[in-house]
Chain A
C-alpha cells in the first residue's frame, strides 16, 4: 500500500487522523436536523406516515387495530410485498425498474407447488427449484438489460406479460394447486414458541448493541470521526424497545377460539429479518454493494474505475428475481395454494410503492434495505386498516395509489432540494 511517491508526512499536520473534533450529542442531533432540512430525509416521511396511519386506524377501530391478532396479521399480510420490495431496492439503486418481480414470484410459487405436488419432491428440493427459477429469470432479465441494452422498463414489461402466461400454462386456466407440505405451510401460518421468540429477540438486540459499540470503539481508537456515545446508546435502546416490545405483543395469546391457542412470533418475521440482514450486509459492507451505489450515481465513472458495470447490473436483477422467488414461496405458504393470478394484480405496484415510500429513489443511487421494511409496513397498515374499516378493494387501490404518488413526489422534491443544498 505504501507509495514511494507520497509527499513527506511532515508536509502538513494531519488534517483528520487523530485530531478530529468529535461531535457532542447535541451537535449530532442538530446535524441530523440540518440534514433533514437539506432534503436528505431518509425514511423519516415513511416513519411519520406509519405513525399517523396507525394512530388514525387506532382511533377509528380502537378494539381491533392494535390487537395482538391484528399485529401478527399485519406481518403475515405484508411479508410477500416486503420481500419483493427488498429485492427491488437493488434494481432501483442502479436506476432501473423490474415490473415483472410480482409475476416472477408467481412463476416461482407455481414451480414450488408443482414440485411439491406433481413431482412429490421434498420441501427443500421444491424450495431450491423455486429459487433456481428465480435466479434464471433474473439472469435473463439482467442480460437483456445490461448486455443487450433494452431499457429495463420494456424488458420487464414484456416479462410481466410473458410470465403471466407462463403461470397460466403451468397451472392451467381456472386451475388451482393446493399444497399440503407442513414445512412450507408453517412459514406463514405457524409461530415460534414464546421462549424462542424471546431468545431470538434478545440475541438480536445483544448482537446489534455489540456490533455498534465495537464499531464505535474501533473508530474512536483510530481517531476517526464517530457519532457520540449517547447517540449510539439511544439507537440501541430504541432497537431494544422495538424488538422486545414486538416479541412481548406477539407472545400474547391471540386466538379468538379458546380451544386452540395461537401465540408466539410468526415464523415469517425471523425469515424476513435474516434476508434483510444478508441483503443489508451486501449493500453496505461489501465492495459489490458499494459498486451498486456507484453504478446508480455515475455509471460512466464506475466503468472508468475498472468495475464491470454490466455484471453489477445483471447481479442486481438476479438478486431482485431471487427475492421474488422467496416472496413466491411465502405467498404459496400463506394461501396454501397457487392460482393463475399468483403475483399479479397489485403485488408489484405495492412492492415498488413500499420501496419508494421507504425512501429509495426512483432515480437510482439512493436507497437502503430498511426502506423496503418500513415502506412495506406502511403498505401493510393501509391495506389492513382499510380492510378493518370495511372499505372495498377499489378504495384501497385508490388510497395506495395516492400514497405511492405522494412518496414519489417526496422523492422528486427532496432530490431537487438536495441538489440545491449540495446533498444527494
Chain B
C-alpha cells in the first residue's frame, strides 16, 4: 500500500487516447503530416484548426474510417491499429458526426439503439431499450424531450444533437469525439449542448471536441490541440493559454511567431487573424 502510494505520483493513468506523429496521404496529397493528440479521461480536448487543416481527416483516422498511414496510436497506453469503425466502437470510441446520422422516421429509442438493438430471442426487447434510453437521457439531465417515443423528425437541432450524443454514451464508451456539435445551433441550444459536453467529461469520459468557435472552446475545453496545415502546431492547457495565442496558432502555426516575423505577430496578433482563411 505504501509502495503504491509512492508509485502513484509517477504513474498517472495513461491518457485514453494518444496519437504520435500520425500521417495520412491521399495519393500525392499529404493530408496529415505529423499530428499528435492527447485525450485524457475526464477532460474535454478541443481540436481546432482552420478549414483544411486536417481536423476531419484526423477524427476519421481515429475512428477507423481511414486509418493512419504512419505514426503511433495508443489507447489507454496500449499501441493499437484501428482500421475499421466497428473495431473503434468495440474499443469504446464513439464519433458524433456533424450531420448526426439519425433516421428521421424512427423514434428516439430506435435511433439510440440502431445497429445494436437489445433482443429477447429473435424479438426486439423494446421495453429494455426504452427503459435504458430513458435512464441515459435522465443521467445526462436531458429534460427537454417530451417523449422518447417521438420521431426524431419532430426534434429541434439541439435535441437531435442530444440524442446523437446520448447514443454515443449509451455503450461502454471511453472516448467520444464530437464533430462541430454546435455549428448549426442557436444561442440557447449551444449552451445546452456545451453543458452536456462538460457533463460527459465530468462523468469520466475523454471528450474530443472539434470546433471552429473559440467561445465554445474556451468555455468547455481543458486542453486545446491546434492543427495547422496537417500538422499539430501545439496542444496547450486552456488555463495557460489565451484566445489570441490560440488564434495565432491556428492562423500561423506557431504561438510566439516563427523566426521570420516574431515581432509582428507579437505586437499585432490580430493581423494574422485577419488573413484570408
Residues of A within 8 A of B (CB): 1, 3-9, 11-17, 218-219, 222-225, 285-287, 290-291, 293-294, 296-298, 300-302, 304-307, 365-366, 418-419, 421-424
> CB distance B132 to A224 under 8 Å?
no
Which A residue sits closest to B173, measured CB to CB?
Answer: A5
> CB distance A14 to B154 under 8 Å?
no
Min CB–CB distance A371 → chain B (angstroms): 15
> CB distance B101 to A301 under 8 Å?
yes
Residues of B within 8 A of A (CB): 85-86, 89, 97, 100-106, 110, 114-119, 122-124, 127, 130-132, 134-143, 145, 147-149, 151, 153-155, 169-174, 199, 202-205
* From A1, A298, A306, A423, contact of B103 by CB (8 A): A298
* From B85, B105, B142, B148, contact of A296 by CB (8 A): B105
Q: CB-CB < 8 A to A305: which residues of B?
A: 101, 114-116
> CB distance B86 to A306 under 8 Å?
yes
> CB distance B138 to A12 under 8 Å?
yes
Q: CB-CB < 8 A to B136: which residues of A?
A: 6
Q: CB-CB < 8 A to B137: which residues of A?
A: 15-16
Interface SS majority for chain B: loop
Min CB–CB distance A278 → chain B (angstroms): 12
Which B residue sits closest to A295, measured CB to CB?
Answer: B103
Give me 6 A-to-B residue pairs in the complex whose CB atoms sit less than 8 angstroms apart, sorted by A's number: A3-B172, A6-B139, A12-B139, A17-B138, A286-B123, A301-B103
Q: What's the Cα separation between A418 and B154 when bound, in Å?
A: 9
Q: What's the Cα separation between A177 and B69 when bound, in Å?
A: 65
Q: What's the Cα separation between A286 and B123 when bound, in Å?
A: 5
> CB distance B153 to A7 under 8 Å?
no
> CB distance A365 to B105 under 8 Å?
yes
> CB distance B134 to A285 under 8 Å?
no
> CB distance B102 to A298 under 8 Å?
yes
Q: What's the Cα separation between A223 and B135 when bound, in Å?
A: 12
> CB distance A294 to B122 under 8 Å?
no
> CB distance B115 to A224 under 8 Å?
no
Q: CB-CB < 8 A to A418: which residues of B?
A: 153
Q: What's the Cα separation between A17 and B169 when bound, in Å?
A: 18
Min CB–CB distance B124 → chain A (angstroms): 6
> CB distance B151 to A12 under 8 Å?
no
Known: A12-B141, A14-B135. 5 other contacts (CB 8 A): A1-B132, A6-B136, A6-B139, A7-B202, A222-B131
> CB distance B114 to A423 under 8 Å?
no
Q: CB-CB < 8 A to B97: which residues of A?
A: 304
* From B86, B127, B169, contact of A5 by CB (8 A): B169
> CB distance B127 to A225 under 8 Å?
no
Q: CB-CB < 8 A to B101: which residues of A?
A: 298, 300-301, 304-305
> CB distance A306 to B116 under 8 Å?
yes
Min CB–CB distance B197 → chain A (angstroms): 13
Q: What's the Cα separation between A255 and B224 when bound, in Å?
A: 85
> CB distance A294 to B173 under 8 Å?
no
Q: CB-CB < 8 A to A17: which residues of B?
A: 131, 134-135, 138
Q: CB-CB < 8 A to A14: which residues of B?
A: 134-135, 138
Q: CB-CB < 8 A to A12: which residues of B?
A: 138-141, 143
> CB distance A222 to B127 under 8 Å?
yes
Q: CB-CB < 8 A to B143: which residues of A?
A: 12, 15
Which B residue sits closest to A15, measured CB to CB?
Answer: B138
Min CB–CB distance A217 → chain B (angstroms): 11
Min CB–CB distance A145 → chain B (angstroms): 20
Which A residue sits closest to B154, measured CB to CB?
Answer: A422
Looking at B101, B143, B199, B202, the one whose CB has the most chain A CB atoms below 10 A away is: B101
* From A3, A293, A304, contact of B169 by CB (8 A): A3
Q: What's the Cα separation between A3 and B92 when bound, in Å?
A: 10
> CB distance A423 to B115 under 8 Å?
no
Which A residue sits closest to B206, measured CB to CB?
Answer: A5
Q: What's the Cα separation between A6 and B147 when bound, in Å?
A: 22
5 closest Cβ contacts across the A-B interface?
Answer: A305-B115, A297-B103, A422-B154, A301-B101, A297-B105
